[in-house]
Structure 1
Amino acid sequence: MSSRWYPGKKIITSVGREVLRSSRFISASAAQSIISPKTTVTTLPNGMRVATENTNMPTATIGVFIDAGSRYENDANNGTAHFLEHMAFKGTSRRSRYDLELEVENLGVHLNAYTSREQTVYYAKCFSSDIERSTDFLSDILLHSRLNKNDVESERSVIIREAEEVAQNMQEVVFDELHAAAFEGSPLSFTILGSNENIKKIDRSDLSDYINTHYKANRMVIAASGGVDHSHVVQLASKYFGQLPSGSAEYTLGAKYVPCQKIMRVDAMERVSGAICVEGVSWTHEDNLAMMVANTILGDFDRSRGFGLTSPNSMQLDISKIDGAILFQSFNTCYKDTGLVGVYFQTEPKALRQLIDAIVRGWRWMAYDVDSQTVERAKRSLLTNVMLMLDGSTPVTEDIGRQLMFYGRRIPMDELKARVEAITVDSLREVCRQRLLNCKLAVTIVGPSLKDIPSNQEIEAALAR
């Protein structure tokens, strides 16, 4: 299969471009004065929402966003959502795999998909004149996939190889282990790919059951941007998805954060990889935007590539002086009802304790000593990064789909700007004190010769002193 139109799985481990629905930093009167968004939204009779933004481009992107991912699975079928992503391109009741590939290639359409813990997304980038054909492709692979037994068996080995590749990526390993421990007992602890045992036994009935359970019209958004006409896209959505039923599925969604320390000794490794974090906030929590600004300030550092050296903050400067510290990346990962805020790092074993101490100092600096100039710079950087990420029809479509899923609307840039501007150094310090210093830790560390690791209680005491 051509890698151009189906490059494969894309895992979302930390998404930071969305904004919150409500905020303590902006008044109701100010919110009412903000310009309405350019995004137009229509809800079909079956509950499916259709959202578009016309930028009069010669190209367009249209995508289907489904409120279904690995956290909607159980112990027995974990990995099914991702498996379905692979099976969607193996042929339908109307098109063989060869016919599907040929049609897509002849039109020059870029067809892609990815799975996260909370969403499955299928989208097509095309010429504006081919928007109906692209919608037809998406409808066909989503609603009429053959799920042929032979195709299931052949794709099984592909997914196992993919899992082996993920197992070589230490950042993926650390985040998967962190989720498994920090959300133990809930589906949010599951990996996106599923265990090897599950991958080897998932069959056609599992895939079909997942579609029938979760692929409901009221749990989907069709988003499009570029050279698109809203009324036309609504007509296409009604034509190709209008018969899809609505419904509610029975599943366990709630996730409870569990403080933990998970140490995994692997003597064959030369470096230590790990993450130290606290419970974060949901997409719609009032503190989310402030945590995005804090995450921007803390930033990242990579000694081998020079990242974080040109405009360093206190924590970057501190860690850069530690002999053996290799990199760190701050993260703010949000879900519907919870989140994780912390730092991922790599270091030589000798520097592990010093690096953890530096993270403690960095968080305390954010909570008590971060200055107004740093906060203002981070606010401008956050807004700039958001706007730069919306360069092109595909990222705009993804932004529309995600925001409709998480917030029920597309938040206009003017509103985002007003909320960011309303954050002050005092309000940011307050949120950091509440979120970074007064919460129980979740720590995951993988590496060789893991000695002299401070307990969570020691770290928490240092944060609270």
Structure 2
Amino acid sequence: AALLTLTRNRGAATYAQTLQNIPETQVTTLENGLRVASEESNQPTCTVGVWIAAGSRYENEKNNGAGYFLEHLAFKGTKKLPGAAFEKEVESMGAHLNGYTSREQTAYYIKALSKDMPKVVELLADIVQNCALEESQIEKERGVILQELKENDSNLTEVAFDYLHATAFQGTALAHTVEGTTENIKRLSRADLASYVDSHFKAPRMVLAAAGGISHRELVDAAKQHFSGVPFTYKEDAVPILPRCRFTGSEVK
């Protein structure tokens, strides 16, 4: 019993120490509304990403799948770094980039050496402000996504979770799948994707977050340099409205 008590105390102490060692989260809001958050630590690497309030919950029946489509195009070139030049720029730093789209957010992030943090911020800003949306890449990724949708039909986990949302939140935006429908993916145009970016990629809907061996002050300075140009206003008739969602108890057989 004494040994068990000692083990528990050690576990509790370790947990308490872990909580004490969690770095403080620092948050700064830029003039255009973009929030910059960081947790500093003595690490040789860092992870920096931009999180955007944009996902399938913000889509409608006609453009469902646009956010996921954009994720596929995010690293396929910008106006400054067209084609494969963007990915080569990341590779030259020995960095790793990735992204994801969910029902309520879109994220693009890069893992790199801490010394390269300013360059990482520059690249992320380039993605959200200058995505090329080249027609050739759009058609290429359209084919990739359509193949993914076919494969998802045989993925029981994916099917179950999509049915779960469709059933629990039927008739609301939370019922939308993240990937969109096959019909939508076949139909979405460059203009549709550009409109989605214009509607949702606004500074107040974004958080630039970093963790690792970085300085919050230097992160804010880099954000001011590269993200200050992100728009923060809407045309009167273009403000996106988040429709209310309700839970509906039902089942699918």
TM-score (norm: length of structure 1) = 0.48
**What CA deviation, in whole Å up to 9, does each residue of 1:21-54 have, x standing for no partner?**
xxxxxxxxxxxxx999711111101111101111
1:250 is matched with which residue? Answer: 240
- The structural deviation recorded for 1:251 is 2.2
User: Percent identity between the aligned chains?
Assistant: 46
Instruction: Provide the alpha-carbon RMSD of the alignment.
Output: 1.7
Aligned to 2:97: 111
Alignment of 1:50-89 (within 5 A): 50-89=36-75
Q: Does 1:181 align with 2:167?
A: yes
Equivalence for 1:259? 249
User: Which deviations, in whole Å up to 9, do the C-alpha atoms of 1:283-313 show, x marking residues without a partner?
Assistant: xxxxxxxxxxxxxxxxxxxxxxxxxxxxxxx
> How far does the alpha carbon of each residue in 1:89-112 deviate from its partner, in whole angstroms, 9 at most, with x for none?
111111122211221111111011
Encode CA deviations 1:298-348: one digit per residue, 9 max, x unaligned.
xxxxxxxxxxxxxxxxxxxxxxxxxxxxxxxxxxxxxxxxxxxxxxxxxxx
- 1:222 match: secondary structure: strand
SS at match of 1:245: coil
User: Match of 2:15?
Assistant: none
CA-CA distance at 1:234 after TM superposition: 0.3
Residue 133 of structure 1 aligns to a residue whose secondary structure is helix
Higher CA-based Rg: 1
What is the SS of the residue equivalent to 1:218? helix
Moved over 2 A (4+): 34-37, 247-253
Q: Give the superposition deviation at 1:142.
A: 1.7
1:196 aligns with 2:182: yes
1:247 deviation in Å?
3.8
- SS of the equivalent of 1:97 reads coil
Query: Which consecutive unaligned segments of at least 5 residues does structure 2 have?
Result: 1-19
Counterpart among 116, 125, 136 of residue 111 in structure 2: 125
The 8 Å contact of residues 46 and 210 in structure 2, kept in 1 or not, is answered as: yes
Partner of 1:220: 206
Inter-partner Cα distance in structure 2 for 1:44 and 1:68? 20
Distance 1:99 1:36 in 2: 37
After superposition, give the CA deviation of every residue in 1:41-95 in whole Å (9 maximum; x if it has no partner): 1110111110111111000010000011000000000000000001111111111
Name the counterpart of 2:14. none
Residue type of the alignment partner of 1:250 = P
Cα distance in 2 between the residues matched to 1:226 and 1:253: 37
**Aligned residues of 1:218 and 1:247 also touching (Cα < 8 A):** no
CA distance in 1: counterparts of 2:133 and 2:22, whole angstroms: 43
Residue aligned with 2:57, SS:
helix
List aligned pairs for 1:329-408, cutoff 5 A.
none
Preserved contact between residue 50 and residue 207 of structure 2 (Cα < 8 Å): yes
Q: How many residues align?
A: 230
Q: TM-score normalized by structure 2?
A: 0.87
Q: Alpha carbons of 1:134 and 1:37: their partners in 2 closer, same or farther (altered >3 Å)?
A: closer
> Cα offset for 1:143?
1.0
**Residue in structure 1 matching 2:127, options 116, 141, 152:** 141
